[in-house]
Amino acid sequence: MLAKVNIDCSHGRSSDRKMALFQRARRLLRLYKVFPKKRLGQNFVIDPALLERMISYASVNKDDIVLEVGPGLGFLTQLLSPACKKVIAVEIDPKLTKILRNELRNLDNVDLIEGDVLNISVPQFNKVVSTPPYSISSPLLFWLLKRKFDCAVLTFQKEFAERLTASVGTKDYGRLTVNIYYRAEVELLDYVSRKLFYPPPDVDSMMVFLRPREKPPFSVEDEELFFQLVRILFNQRNKKVRNAAIPFLRQWVKKENVMKMADSLLFHDKRVRELAPEDFGALTNDFVRERHEKGIL
C-alpha cells in the first residue's frame, strides 16, 4: 500500500524550492510572451517535491520509457530525464513547444512531440508520469487503457479522481467508475493543493496511481455490449434497471418483446446506482444468453 500524504509544502527548504520554480515559471512565460490558456488547462506545477513524489510513486528507473502528456514548461520533464531511459513528451500548444525545445535542448533522451496525444501516433512507452490538462482527463484515461503499459501516476482534478474509486450507490459512483474498474486497478495517492500550481486552478487536485489489469476482474461475453449497457443505464442512474434498460433493449429487441425482456432482466427491480460493476457484467451476459438461446429479437 502506498502512503497517502497531503501535499502542501510551505516551510523551510521546500518553500524556497517552490518559490524558485514559481519565479522561473513567471520568467519563462514573460520571456516567450505566453499567456496560460484556461481552456487548455495550462496550470503549471511549481513544487519540485510534488514532481519528485510522482516519479517515486511510478518507481521510474533507467530501463523505463516514460510518457508525459502536457509537459508545459518542462519542469517534470527535466526531473524525469536523468531518472529514465527516455521521455516521450507530448505538447499540443505550439507556443509551449517553442519554450520546451529551448529548455530541453541539452537532454538527449527527451523525444518532444507537438500535437494532440489523443489523435497522433505515439511511440511505445511502459510508464506514464504526467499532470495532464483537466479537460482531457476522461478521454486520456480511455486512450491509455487501450494501450499496453506497466503503470501510470497522474494528477487529476480531485472530484474526477474520486469518481474513479467511488463506492457503489454514492453520488460519485457512475459509468466512469465501472469502466475504469473493469480495465485497471486504481489507487488515490496524495491530495494536491491548488496553491502548488501557477496560475492556480479553481479546484484542488489528487495524484492517482493506475495499473492496467492483466485480465478483467469478471467475465463479460461481449465487451462492446457491456460498455454500451453501462453508458445507457447510467443516463438514468436513479431509475430501476427495468425502466432504465428500455432505451438499450429497443436497439436489440422487437418492439413487442421489449417490456417482456425488461421484466426478465437480472436485477430488474434494483436502482442502477445500486449495481456493482460485477452486476453490470452479469446483466450483460444474461442478456446475451437470452438473445441467443431464446431468440428474443
pLDDT tens string 121-135:
999 999 999 999 999
| Contact call for residues 189 and 155 (beta carbons, < 8 A) | no
Within 144-243, strands assigned E span 151-157, 184-192, 197-198, 205-212
Q: What is the pLDDT of residue 9?
A: 41
CA distance 137 to 156: 7
CA distance 175 to 277: 9
CA atoms within 13 A on the CB side of 265: 33
Contacts of 11 (CB under 8 A, 6+ apart): none
DSSP state of 268: T
CA distance 173 to 281: 16
Q: Write down the residue that cell numbers 463506492 correspond to.
A: 167
Q: Give the CA distances from residue 105 to residues 33, 93, 116, 171, in Å, rounded to whole numbers and listed in that order.
A: 20, 18, 21, 47
| Contact call for residues 117 and 141 (beta carbons, < 8 A) | no
In the chain, CATH 3.40.50.150 covers: 12-212
Q: List, as one string, the DSSP characters of 66-92.
A: EEEE--TTSHHHHHHGGGSSEEEEEE-
CA distance 149 to 155: 18
DSSP state of 265: S
| Contact call for residues 250 and 279 (beta carbons, < 8 A) | no
CA distance 65 to 128: 8
CATH architecture, domain defined by 223-294: Orthogonal Bundle (1.10)
Q: What is the pLDDT of residue 293?
A: 67
Q: Give the CA distances from residue 147 to residues 80, 150, 278, in Å, rounded to whole numbers and listed in that order.
A: 21, 10, 23
Q: Which helix (H) or strand (E) holds 250?
A: none
Burial 111-131 (b: 16+ CB within 10 A, else e): bbbbeebeeeebeebebbbbb
Burial class (CB in 10 A: 0-12, 13-18, 19+), 108: exposed
- Tens digit of each residue's pLDDT, the chain (297 residues): 343 434 444 445 778 888 999 999 999 999 999 988 877 778 999 999 999 999 999 999 999 999 999 999 999 999 999 999 999 999 999 999 999 999 999 999 999 999 999 999 999 999 999 999 999 999 999 999 999 999 999 999 999 999 999 999 999 999 999 999 999 999 999 999 999 999 999 999 999 999 999 999 999 999 999 999 999 999 999 999 999 999 999 888 888 888 988 898 999 999 999 999 999 999 999 988 877 766 555
Q: List, as one string, the DSSP characters of 112-152.
A: EEES-TTTS-----SEEEE---GGGHHHHHHHHTTS--SEE
Class of domain 12-212: alpha beta
Q: Write down the residue that cell numbers 460493476 correspond to.
A: 277
In the chain, CATH 1.10.8.100 covers: 223-294
Q: Residue 41 — φ and ψ, nearest 5°?
A: 65, 40
CA 91 remoteness from chain centre:
17
Q: Is the pTM of this model over 0.75?
A: yes
